Amino acid sequence: MTKEPDFKTEADLCAAFVAALPKGWTAYAETAGYDILLVRAEDGLQIGVEAKLKLNAEVVVQASKEWGHDATAEGPDFRAALVPAGQHVRGMADICAKLGVTVISMTHPDRIEQRYGWRPPAFRPDLPNKKLSVYWNGEEREWYDCAPATRCTLPDYVPDVGAGRSAPVSLTNWKIRAIKLLIIMERRGFVTKADFKHVGIDPSRWTRHWLDRGVDRGQFIRGRHTPDLKAQHPTNWAQIEADFAKWAPAEVAA
């Protein structure tokens, strides 16, 4: 009989996993359709991770999505299902192997005991190592290279959101452009159609529904329906604002 997981939520599971990542890996939460998109700094290798408290068909389908249907589609190099230790069901794991999905078994931090001066790893298997040309453990294959034509597009900033939440908030490239627009408006007091063009956003929805008309013709100001992206992404907002001189229109950055 499989014991109940120690993790109360998938968000807790993801947080523990991210905290245990080895040096050289960056976790992009809620990116490219995955709970976590891991990126290896050394060479950009990617692992798309879907998390569940039980290794079931749902997480297998999520982790293996879109592989093999479109040879030109973006995708990670490897795909994985993250589950608590003790939820690694053998039969389901065999199905994962046939689909090219690695099962990552995560031990709850409170259950990791140091023995004889050695601390067991928080999760198994180890993440792919660039020094290995094939990822094997004895006779069992651990990682399955999907060899995508193109890797997943990453946002310019690492998302300041948690992974595995029931109603996830993602940091998309559109949202980064929207934050830039709002920062211009916050600094100058208004934006114009030229600002929309500069950051690369279609003004239609903004000018019709989200912003109010300014004092002068052609100016738009914050209204009661303007998205509050500063509250939604406080860390990313601060990072983007710190880079203001790099991306802002010349007349505003001066």
- 81-96 residue pLDDT tens: 999 987 766 678 888 8
Which candidate, 177, 166, 167, 182, places its Cα nearest to that of 201?
A: 177
Residue 254 has pLDDT above 90, yes or no: no
Least confident window among 42-51, 102-111, 115-124, 179-188: 115-124
Residue 77 has pLDDT above 50, yes or no: yes
Least confident window among 11-15, 18-22, 161-165: 161-165
Provide the whole-model pTM: 0.84
Helix (H) or strand (E) segment spanning residue 158 = none
Residue 129 has pLDDT above 90, yes or no: no
Cα gap 125→208, rounded to integer Å: 51
User: Is 131 or 36 the better-scoring residue by pLDDT?
Assistant: 36
Q: Where are the beta strands (DSSP E) in 120-203?
A: 123-124, 136-137, 140-141
